[in-house]
Amino acid sequence: MKEKILIVDDEEEIRELIAFSIERALVNPIVMQCGDGQEAYDCIQKEKIDLLITDVKMPKMGGTRLVASVNNLPAEQKPTHMIVISILTTPQEEPKVINGTSFFPKPWDASQLETHIRHLFGLVAIDRPAGKKTEIDQSVIDVFLEATIQVLTVTGNISVQPDGVFMKQPDTVSGDISAIIPMNSKEYTGSMSISFTTPAFLELAEGMVGGHFTEITSDIESAAGELCNQLYGLVKRNLNRVGHSLAPAIPSIISGPNHKIRHLVQGPCYTLQFQVGAGTVRVEVVISPKLR
């Protein structure tokens, strides 16, 4: 989902600050800007806005009148969420929510605003080591989930049981054989890996190439890269259909009992776990927004 955000403030620099917070808070949002309330009101009548963020004191039409006017619009035209940023409250106060509209003080706490925006859109914030925050939209996780089931079921010719999505703790073992692939788009950078325990990999390899295997040998290691390639290809196709811009990439294979994966960027590691036969398959995704 690409959230449409409209920022209304007569100061260009203030709009720039709010836009920066929005781009940190959400994945790939559409950010629009207006310099006064009248311009914003005209814009809202033309297209559905997911979040309106407005100043109070502005030329032509102020924020208070803008919110009142917007509240009189039919429900399908009203922005889903509204935030008013004003100097009317003191910086120490928590944001207030009155009749569905949130009120933030000016100057505002950027991290508080980012957390609030994420909360409005049902996103979970995860602390990153550098103190920044990031998150992946649930719809993106769903794309990985569905693609993994499809690739393992069709290519590996085996039944797959999803076993949960969780945040991987640092220094956790990924598996006995893995393939990792970089994920680069205009908006973010990162990597995706798929890891197999030995029993899961051997069953998949048997399904893919036939025969019977008792250990992971160099003859069948390339199957991990092939599965990773197919998974990334499917994820890329499905995400790019909804506005992402993932670039083609080539996977690398890592093997060794109980190895750990070091991803290409720092950040929370979303792990999708599946039960495959007597073993486990884990797909790990780490992305970090690119700063502009």
Partner 1 sequence: MDAKLIHDMSNPLTIAHGMIGIALSHLESGDVQNAVNKLQKSILALDKLKIILQAERAKLPNTLKAEV
Chain residues in the site for partner 1 (CB under 8 A): 11, 13-14, 17, 20, 24, 57, 87, 106-108, 110, 130-132, 291
| CB closer to partner 1, 98 vs 130 | 130
Distances (CA, A) of 122 to 1, 32, 77, 119, 262: 12, 21, 21, 5, 29
Sign, CA torsion 24/286/136/248? positive
Amino acid making up residue 156: G
Q: How far is the CB of 82 from partner 1 (least distance, A)?
A: 20
Least separation in angstroms between residue 287's CB and partner 1 is 14
Least distance CB 11 / partner 1 (angstroms): 5
Q: Which is nearer to partner 1, 57 or 96 (CB)?
A: 57
Of the pair 98, 291, the CB lying nearest partner 1 is at: 291
Q: Which is nearer to partner 1, 207 or 289 (CB)?
A: 289
Choice between 24 and 282, CB closer to partner 1? 24
Burial class (CB within 10 angstroms; exposed 0-12, middle 13-18, buried 19+) of 231: buried
H-state helical runs in 156-247: 198-209, 218-241
Min separation Cβ 86 and partner 1, Å: 9
**CB of 29: closest distance to partner 1 in angstroms?**
17
Segment (H or E) for 115 = helix 110-120
DSSP state of 199: H
